[in-house]
Each structure stands twice: as C-alpha cells, then as structure tokens.
Copies of this chain bind each other. A is one copy, B any other.
Amino acid sequence: MLLAALRKEVLAANVELVERGLVLFTFGNASGIARGKGLVAIKPSGVPYDELTPESIVVTDLDGKVVDGKLRPSSDLRTHLELYKHFPNIGGVAHTHSEAASAWAQAQRPIPCFGTTHADYFHGPVPVTPPLSPEEIAGDYEKATGEVICRAFAGSDPDATPAVLVAGHAPFTWGPDVAAAAHNAVILEYVARMAMATVTINPAALPLAHALHDKHFFRKHGKHAYYGQAAAQ
C-alpha cells in the first residue's frame, strides 16, 4: 500500500472517532500498518483534530523511529507497535477514552457478553488487563501497556475479540485495517453502554448462553456467515 493512501485512511479513521463522539479534545488516536514495508502511520501527539491533514500523520518504523513527518507521534505509539508485533493479522489499532468503555476499564471489570449485539462483534467477554507493576509504569510505560494487552490475550484469539480494556485506563480496539479498528471502537462503546444499562436494570444479569453467542458470532464471521450482501450464499 502506498504510504499516501495509508495516511488518508488513518486520518479518516481518526476523524471517524471524533464524529462518533468517542473523543474529547485531543484524546485518542488511531494507526494503520503497511505490513510489507514495516511502517506504521499514526496520529501526531496532542494536535487538535480539525488541524489534522494527511501530511500531519506521522510514519514510523516498528521500533518507533520517525521515518516521515514533521510532528511527534502519539505518545501511545509504543502500545500500538506492540500490538502490531504480537497480533500478526491486524492492520489497524484505535485508542479512545470513550465514556462507557473507559468506565468499565476504570471499574476493572470485563464486559460480559449480555446479548447478541456484543456477540455479533466480540467472541466472549471483552477482557480487562491485569494491572501494570510499579516497575512497568516507571519504565517504558507505553510499551508495557502493549505487553499487558498481549498477556491478556494469552490463549485466546485477538481476531475474534478485537478489543481490550486497559485496567484503570481505557479501551484499545483493532481490526484488519484502521477503518475496522475505528468501527470496532464505536461498537465497543455502544456495547459498553448497553452492558452498563443491563446491570443497572438487573444487577444479577447473566451472560448470553454459549449457543446463542456462537450463533450470532458465526452468523457474521467465518465461512458459514450469512449476514450482509458479501456473505457466502
């Protein structure tokens, strides 16, 4: 993929996060990767969204070295890089402080799969990371944040559950490209709001039965999917 095209996609995904109401001021960032080139395009740090242009998107290598662009990359860059290194199928990452998903992260509770809206997108609960140690916080904090996300997915499939809550912080989402990562951030916020409403109505609410969870997930994902116009007939 040409870097110019990737930058445009990354810009569009960052703007999508704003337009969907997931971002206040300069919070949040989205990135995309050109796997063949080993290059990542990410929002610059602390720049107002209405000043973003394709040229302002920063391009770095997988070590975080800026290879193109005049601005400093998002301070969360190293978290994104860890995800790209450990989740080989993902092409984009999004990070927001969206209200309800961040509240679950602050409550340090995984989001249970209470219904089919969740099951359509996330296979199983959205996990919450274990806390970082004081040493990890004092060291390369943003890299350690990426590592603790990867630890939360040990033994499970990040492609089937493209979202995580970083304990005491906020969500990260991902997907095959940066547009999908931003899309999943929007879905996650909606699912988080509905889950909060669910426990408000019934504090003893039970997760969805496994059979129904799988039904909805596989109705939209994998070779037996039959949702949408592009699904196998």
Chain A interfacial positions (CB closer than 8 Å to B): 24-27, 44-47, 71-72, 75, 97, 99-100, 102-109, 114-117, 131-132, 134, 137-138, 141, 168-170, 183, 186-187, 190, 193-202, 205-206, 208-209, 211-212, 215, 219, 226-231, 233
Contact = CB atoms under 8 A, between A and B. Distances in A.
Contact of A75 (B26, B209, B219): B219
Contact of A97 (B102, B117, B195): B117
Contact of A227 (B75, B100, B104, B105): B75
Nearest to A47: B229
Nearest to A133: B211
Given A24-B186, A99-B193, 5 more contacts: A24-B187, A47-B229, A72-B229, A72-B231, A108-B206
Nearest to A24: B190
Contact of A211 (B24, B134, B227): B134
B229 A44 contact: yes
Given A106-B198, A219-B75, A228 B46 contact: yes
What number of copies of this chain does the assembly contain?
4
A202 B108 contact: yes
Given A114-B106, A117-B170, A228 B45 contact: yes
A42 to B, nearest CB: 14
Nearest to A117: B97
A141 to B, nearest CB: 6
A52 B97 CA distance: 33
Given A99-B190, A168-B116, A229-B71, A205 B107 contact: yes
A137 B103 CA distance: 33
21 contacts: A25-B186, A25-B187, A26-B228, A27-B117, A45-B227, A46-B229, A71-B229, A72-B228, A75-B219, A97-B116, A100-B197, A105-B115, A106-B114, A106-B115, A106-B195, A107-B114, A107-B205, A108-B202, A132-B212, A138-B215, A196-B200
Contacts of A99: 190, 193-194, 197
A44 to B, nearest CB: 7
